[in-house]
Amino acid sequence: MSPERPPGFYKWWRTLPKRAVIAAEPTLPFSSTILEGISRRCAVSLRYRTDSRTTESLLLIYPRQLYRRGRHAYVEGTTYPSGKFQTLRLDRVTDAHLAPGAAHMRIPASNTPGGHAYTPGWKVPTRRRRTAKGTVLDLLTALGVLALLIALVRYLIAGH
């Protein structure tokens, strides 16, 4: 049984800063495998224990982030085939390796922002989509500025 958490514990936990994990941290088991999965944008097969530590499950995850928060390290990613976004504690992982055929199992673009895997500190590329409404407003603004300049030139030429 886990002890009762005080009110507001999870809000406090979520406000702790995320620290990026680098491959050179030897204290974290399987961090190099997960970071390789992030950099290659491929699936990683994990053997994961639940909170009770009695059951163990096999998960296929497309990792997005590997970070420390407080005293624990976490991996975030989308599980396959459910498509759920999950945060898993790294100390509960008992085995991790790149999935067979991982080079062909790319992260689905719909499950990550912009279709890219990233680690903290990387900038996720975004594109501003131009809509017809935005294009028309840009055009009207440009025409309005042009009309104002023409009126100013006419006023100056008239000698006022």
Give the dihedral of Cα atoms 137, 138, 140, 144; nearest 10 deg: 130
Predicted local distance difference test score (pLDDT) of residue 3? 52
pLDDT at position 83, please?
79
Taking the domains of the chain in order of start, what are their residue ranges?
A: 9-124, 128-160
- Alpha-carbon radius of gyration of the chain: 25
Tens digit of pLDDT at every position of the chain (160 positions): 345 655 655 555 556 667 776 655 656 778 888 888 888 888 899 998 877 777 888 888 988 888 888 888 888 988 877 778 888 988 888 899 888 665 444 544 444 444 444 444 444 445 556 566 667 777 778 788 888 889 889 989 987 6
Helix (H, G, I), strand (E, B) or coil at 136: helix
Q: Which DSSP letter does residue 103 get?
A: G
Residue 12 confidence (pLDDT)? 54
pLDDT at 42: 83
Dihedral, 106, 110, 115, 120 alpha carbons, nearest 10: -100
Position 50 scores a pLDDT of 79
Hunting for tokens 């009770």 — which residue is that? Answer: 52
User: Each residue of 22-56: b (16+ CB within 10 Å) or e?
Assistant: eeeeeebebbbbbbbbbeebbbbbbebeeeeeeee
Composition of the chain by helix, strand, coil, percent to 5? 35, 30, 40
In this predicted structure, what is the pLDDT of residue 128? Answer: 59
Q: What is the predicted pLDDT for the residue at 111? A: 47
